[in-house]
Structure 1
Amino acid sequence: MEEILDDFENFKISALSKCKKVTPYVKNVTIGPNKVIQKNTKTITSKCPFSKLPDILPTTSNVPQNLHFIKIANDLELHRREDVQSAINKRLHTFMEHNERQKINTEAEWQLRKKDLLNKLEQEETGIMKILEENEQEDNIKHQALIKYYQSLAEKRKQNEEKIKINEEKQNKRADIINKVVKNQIEFREIYQEITAMICNNKAPSNLRCNFEDIRQCLQTLPNLMNEIVVRCQNGIISENDAVKSGECISQIKNLKNIISRRTEVIENKKKIELKKQTEEKTAVTDKKPTPNTISLDSDTHKKNIERDFIAQKFISKTSLRYYNELESFIKNYPSSFRNLLENNSLKQFRFDCKKAVNIPVNAISAINAQHLLDKYNRLCNLLLGNKVVVGGTEVIASKHPEGIAFCMDLLAKKFVLQGDLMISSNPEAAFCYATIILSLWNQFPEFGKLFLLHLHKECIYLIPFYPPRLADQTDEDYYKSLGYNYIDGVVEKQDKFLKRMMGIMRLYAAIVISKPKSDQKISPHNIAYGWRWFSAFLNLEPQIDITATMIHIFLEVAGSTLQQVYGKQFYKLMNFLSKVYMPMLKKYDSGGPFTRLEVLLHDYQRTGQLEKPKGLLPTNFW
């Protein structure tokens, strides 16, 4: 109660202090019984929310009652506040309880989810571990299988290496046996020819039967025996026993030679005695004796020449030999025409520039279009004419040196032959763009054509055609080099590489005989007639293993359709001879891959009646 009174006192002091502040501004009495009530004061509109409240403002007539009212109002306000605070606290308590329950429920739900998540993760982890274990087991199984596979592979490789080694040993042993047999065959042939000459030179034919009848049977048997051994060598069916037998044949024929030599010496001595008696009896007859002797010698020489010619025709025909000799005699002194240029060290850069001027255009030759071919032809033609040629930013003029043009011409001929070895053997269709350039330059420079043919024949003697025989004192290296094999560090070139080189060179030559030069040159300097001559001459020679079938197959593959078109019935007859006569003869020497490919080609020809045109052949008037 005291607090209420204190508040009321403070209220009065506040009211009086405020009244003091507004006194200067208010002229009339505003409170108390004497207050002035202004009539123009605006009343609160009915829109005011408090317009219907009872007028509880104190007036001058109820001041004592207001104090009691204020006290009651304050008590009510206090109770109201307490009720409000209680309601708020209750609401807050309810909210806190709800929040706590919500928190507990959320926590419980989170724990459940967490538990489920952990269980799920545990299950997934268990599944992953199981999969990893299964994968590990599979990897182990695969690893073990891979190890077994590699072990088996290594075992197979080892077995293959052992087989290869055994085969190589067999091949080497077979090669040694064959070399022995070949050596014995050559020696046997020489001794047999000597025996034949000794018998032919015997001047007592009436006594021939009685003198050599006992060894005649041996002379007939031994060559047959040696031929049987040689045939087995050619067929690959050979053993050490054959080498021993060939050696025995040598021993036997040497003994026969010694016997015949002794008997011939006896006959000659008898002849000398008889001749001496005749000279003593008739001196006139002695003057006439040399004439029949001379005739006899001439007859023997003629027989030897015939025999030599017959043997030579197995390796080269007379026409081919004459043609090659004429070509070689023309070019024989050609290298001496630029010897000073080669030997002068001060001209090393000039030689290098000339090589660039030859190599770069030749390496770039291809049948892209006519302009490309014409550009390469013009570059090479200008070089051989001695005109200025720009190569890699360097001006090259071959005529700056008196021997420069001859040097460049020889380089160019060798380079084109080398392209047959390097480029055409791996890209057969390229043969025709090289062929047309070669023919065009050949027309312009005939010496270049002869140089090219000579280098072509040196690289592939089978284009002459020629099969070099093995000489008596010739080493293996010299013999194989004469056949065209390369030797590197004393090791002979492998057969497949050798055949691939020969195929490239033959393909280039066959492309030349059927190709045409540039359009403003109407005549080919080496046309299909030269190809026909080569083919006919080649079929007249005794076939050899691998190389014969390879040369014929490539030549027919490239030039066969043109030969058929030009020669018609003659070509048909020649192909009939090849199929029915030459192939059975070739089969005795060769039955490998080259022979099989040729056989397939001939079978297709017999089935269709024609040979296909080669791929890459340039059209007429291409450039």
Structure 2
Amino acid sequence: MIMQLFELKEAQRSSVASSFMKKMEDFKESSRRNDDEECLRKKQELEERLVPKTESQIDVEMTIQRLQNEARLRIQQKEDQIDKKLREVQSIQEKELQEDLKKKTLELQIVEAQRRKGICSEKLELMLKSLDESIISCLNKESFLQTIQMKIDRVTALKNQFQVVANTANNADPLINATRSENIVQQIEDLSEVIKEDISKNNAAVHEKVMLAKRQAQSTVPAPAVKQEQQNDSSNHSEKKTNETDEGYEDLNFVQRDDLLLYSQLQSELSQYESSAAAFTNDLSLKALRFELQKAVLHPLNEISDLSGQHLQDKLDRLASLLRGNAVNVGSRVVRATEHPGGLEYCTNLLARRMVSQGEDQVNVNPKAAFPIAAVITELWIEFPIFGRLVLAHFYRQCPYLVPYYAPQQEGQSNEDYYKSLGYRYSNGKVEQQPAYLKRMSGVVRLYAAILISLPRRNQPHPHGLEHAWRYLASLLNLSPRNDITAAILVEFLSVAGHAMSKEYGKQFQKILHLICTEYFSMIRNVTPKGSGGGPVTRLEDFLQESITKGGIPPPAGQLPLRFW
């Protein structure tokens, strides 16, 4: 019992102790939390008292700094504006001074250019007057002037070019045209001196012949009958020998005498013309200018077609403007053929040569292309006679059968040189095949025939019309035919020019066509090797038979209609 009471007592005491300890711990925890909260509260109060004061000070300092910066910025901006105004005023003054100086310089250049052009005009007038007097004083004029006609035409072309350049105002650089005018006048002067020298030599030669004839007449003494008879015999023998020589020359079986003289003269003129442009052609410093001028020639040339009259007119205008010495656009650049001495000659000869080459390159592939090209050549020939003579010279060089001239191989002449003189091409030392050669020559002949029948605009006289077609055909039939080539060029020529010649010459042409169908065709057959195929001969035979069947030669396909442009 006592033990139970003791245990109960102990249990109560333990419970009270545990409760007390728990309360003590709760009190400590409560005190700790209260202390933390109090500290936090006091800290917050302190911060609330201190922070507003710090921010206010910072704001004041920042405001002062900002105001100072703004003040400095305004001052700097005002200074910058003042400097800018000063610079603008200074720049305007400098520009005004430069423009004033440029204007005064330009005025002086215009005056100087006019003065130099005036001197050139007076000099040119005197030179042309002197040249005209020399031409008037030329002895044996009709025959001799033909030999220098190309030079005279060149003087005329340069004179026209001078008038264009002298009357063209170049406000950007007036002295350029003055310099060009002086260059043109210098070329005319050089050419005039050559012409006058040629005339002087001709007059001296004619005068010498006249004086020699007079001396022989004065020294003639009556001779004894025997001697007189011997002299007459000798004279007759000499005259007979001369006639035999002339007849032998005329009876050459490869060319007519007059045709050979014309051929030689044109080739000589072409060589001289190429020599006059050699300095420009070979000058490496002018390579860029030559390239631009080539484009000025080739671009419109390669675009010639019968697309429309307006299209063809545009190509003609561009080429004519170039040959006049006017400024032409080439891409983004502007160039003139007269920009450098020799430039116009270079362009004129390049255009003539490439026009003729169109026969074997373009017409060879597209026969109808001959007619728009021929139309442009004819119009340029009318305005620029020297261009026309160059075209004819290149035709004769490229295809001597158009003379007609069956050139024989000269003694010591290699086969390659000989075949090249006939128009053959060589590749890797081998001559081209005959069919390819005949096709190219046919294209050249077709282009030439298209020129002969082209109709100039505005009823202008044709510079190389149907009368030359008649002369050519007559000369060709007076020569013995050659294998292949004669038949090839004859069928091409007649198919293009035959209809126009029939309309122009009527019965006379029918007679010559009858001669071709009978005697001349038999001669062609005789020179055609048996078993050779005879392609051109067969084509000629078919053409002649069709012409007889239809009662005439039809107009060529592709010929430009009247008033096409």
Same fold at TM > 0.5: yes
Q: 1:580 to 1:410 in 2, by over 3 A?
A: same
Alignment equivalent of 1:604, drawn from 523, 532, 546: 546
Deviation at 1:470, TM superposition (A): 2.5
State the AA in 2 paired with 1:551: I
Q: 1:577 to 1:360 in 2, by over 3 A?
A: same
Deviation at 1:477, TM superposition (A): 1.8
Match of 1:555 in 2: 493
State the AA in 1 paired with 2:464: H
Match of 1:533 in 2: 471
Alignment equivalent of 2:362, drawn from 423, 436, 440: 423
* 1:77-88 correspondence runs (5 A): none
Match of 1:240 in 2: none
Match of 2:249 in 1: 309
Alignment equivalent of 1:348, drawn from 264, 276, 287: 287
Deviation at 1:474, TM superposition (A): 2.8
Deviation at 1:586, TM superposition (A): 1.1
Do 1:543 and 1:589's aligned partners in 2 also have CA atoms closer than 8 Å?
yes
Match of 1:268 in 2: none
Deviation at 1:287, TM superposition (A): 8.3
Whole-angstrom CA distance in 1 between matches of 2:260 and 2:522: 27
- Structure ranking higher on relative contact order (CA contacts 8 Å, 6+ apart): 2
Residue 578 (1) aligns with residue 516 (2) = yes
Match of 2:350 in 1: 411
Deviation at 1:321, TM superposition (A): 2.2
Whole-angstrom CA distance in 2 between matches of 1:413 and 1:478: 23
* 1:279-428 correspondence runs (5 A): 291=231, 294-295=234-235, 298=238, 301-302=241-242, 305-306=245-246, 308-309=248-249, 311-312=251-252, 314-428=253-367
Do 2:267 and 2:397's aligned partners in 1 also have CA atoms closer than 8 Å?
no
* 1:495-506 correspondence runs (5 A): 495-506=434-445
Do 2:250 and 2:256's aligned partners in 1 also have CA atoms closer than 8 Å?
no
- Which protein is bigger by CA-based radius of gyration? 1
Q: How many pairs were matched up?
A: 338
Deviation at 1:610, TM superposition (A): 0.8
State the AA in 1 paired with 2:454: S
Deviation at 1:575, TM superposition (A): 0.6
Do 1:421 and 1:505's aligned partners in 2 also have CA atoms closer than 8 Å?
yes
State the AA in 2 paired with 1:609: G
Match of 2:373 in 1: 434
Whole-angstrom CA distance in 1 between matches of 2:411 and 2:269: 30
State the AA in 1 paired with 2:513: M
Residue 588 (1) aligns with residue 557 (2) = no
Say which SS state the counterpart of residue 520 (structure 1) adopts: helix
Residue 616 (1) aligns with residue 558 (2) = yes
Match of 1:270 in 2: none
Deviation at 1:304, TM superposition (A): 5.1
Whole-angstrom CA distance in 2 between matches of 1:475 and 1:400: 42
Do 1:440 and 1:521's aligned partners in 2 also have CA atoms closer than 8 Å?
no
Whole-angstrom CA distance in 1 between matches of 2:381 and 2:229: 60
Residue 478 (1) aligns with residue 417 (2) = yes
Deviation sequence 1:345-403 (CA, Å, 0-9, x none): 10011111111111111001111111111111111011111111112222221111121
Q: 1:439 to 1:307 in 2, by over 3 A?
A: closer
Deviation at 1:560, TM superposition (A): 0.9
Whole-angstrom CA distance in 2 between matches of 1:294 and 1:372: 69
Match of 1:545 in 2: 483
Deviation sequence 1:509-559 (CA, Å, 0-9, x none): 111111123x33522211111111111111111100000000110011111
State the AA in 1 paired with 2:542: V
Deviation sequence 1:181-222 (CA, Å, 0-9, x none): xxxxxxxxxxxxxxxxxxxxxxxxxxxxxxxxxxxxxxxxxx
Whole-angstrom CA distance in 2 between matches of 1:339 and 1:525: 28
Do 1:460 and 1:484's aligned partners in 2 also have CA atoms closer than 8 Å?
yes
Of all paired residues, the percent bearing the same amino acid is 41
Alignment equivalent of 2:462, drawn from 502, 516, 524: 524
Q: 1:406 to 1:303 in 2, by over 3 A?
A: closer
Structure 1 length as normaliser, TM-score?
0.52
Deviation sequence 1:603-623 (CA, Å, 0-9, x none): 111112111111111111111
Deviation at 1:587, TM superposition (A): 0.7
Structure 2 length as normaliser, TM-score?
0.57
State the AA in 2 paired with 1:558: V
Residue 459 (1) aligns with residue 401 (2) = no
Whole-angstrom CA distance in 1 between matches of 2:229 and 2:543: 63
Deviation at 1:567, TM superposition (A): 0.8
Deviation at 1:322, TM superposition (A): 3.2
Match of 2:448 in 1: 509
Deviation sequence 1:474-532 (CA, Å, 0-9, x none): 32222222222122222111101110110110010111111123x33522211111111
* 1:164-243 correspondence runs (5 A): none
Q: 1:470 to 1:386 in 2, by over 3 A?
A: same
Deviation sequence 1:296-353 (CA, Å, 0-9, x none): 86267436515632542x1111232233344345444212221221121100111111
Say which SS state the counterpart of residue 395 (structure 1) adopts: strand
Do 1:499 and 1:550's aligned partners in 2 also have CA atoms closer than 8 Å?
yes
State the AA in 1 paired with 2:248: R
Deviation at 1:573, TM superposition (A): 0.3
Q: 1:393 to 1:581 in 2, by over 3 A?
A: same
Do 1:387 and 1:398's aligned partners in 2 also have CA atoms closer than 8 Å?
yes
Q: 1:521 to 1:350 in 2, by over 3 A?
A: farther
Match of 1:213 in 2: none
Do 2:293 and 2:335's aligned partners in 1 also have CA atoms closer than 8 Å?
yes
Do 2:442 and 2:488's aligned partners in 1 also have CA atoms closer than 8 Å?
yes
Match of 1:199 in 2: none
Whole-angstrom CA distance in 2 between matches of 1:308 and 1:392: 58
Deviation at 1:285, TM superposition (A): 12
Residues 296-305 or 561-570, more deviating = 296-305
Q: CA RMSD in A?
A: 2.3
* 1:242-257 correspondence runs (5 A): none
Q: 1:310 to 1:522 in 2, by over 3 A?
A: closer
Q: 1:404 to 1:472 in 2, by over 3 A?
A: closer
Deviation at 1:288, TM superposition (A): 8.6
State the AA in 1 paired with 2:557: K
Say which SS state the counterpart of residue 493 (structure 2) adopts: helix
State the AA in 2 paired with 1:305: T
Say which SS state the counterpart of residue 521 (structure 2) adopts: helix
Deviation at 1:292, TM superposition (A): 7.8
Match of 2:61 in 1: none
Say which SS state the counterpart of residue 588 (structure 1) adopts: helix
Deviation sequence 1:53-95 (CA, Å, 0-9, x none): xxxxxxxxxxxxxxxxxxxxxxxxxxxxxxxxxxxxxxxxxxx
Name stretches of at least 5 consecutive residues in structure 1 with no aligned partner.
1-283
Whole-angstrom CA distance in 1 between matches of 2:453 and 2:541: 23
Deviation at 1:290, TM superposition (A): 8.1
Deviation sequence 1:80-127 (CA, Å, 0-9, x none): xxxxxxxxxxxxxxxxxxxxxxxxxxxxxxxxxxxxxxxxxxxxxxxx
State the AA in 2 paired with 1:603: Q
Deviation at 1:580, TM superposition (A): 1.2
Q: 1:622 to 1:298 in 2, by over 3 A?
A: same
Whole-angstrom CA distance in 1 between matches of 2:381 and 2:276: 20
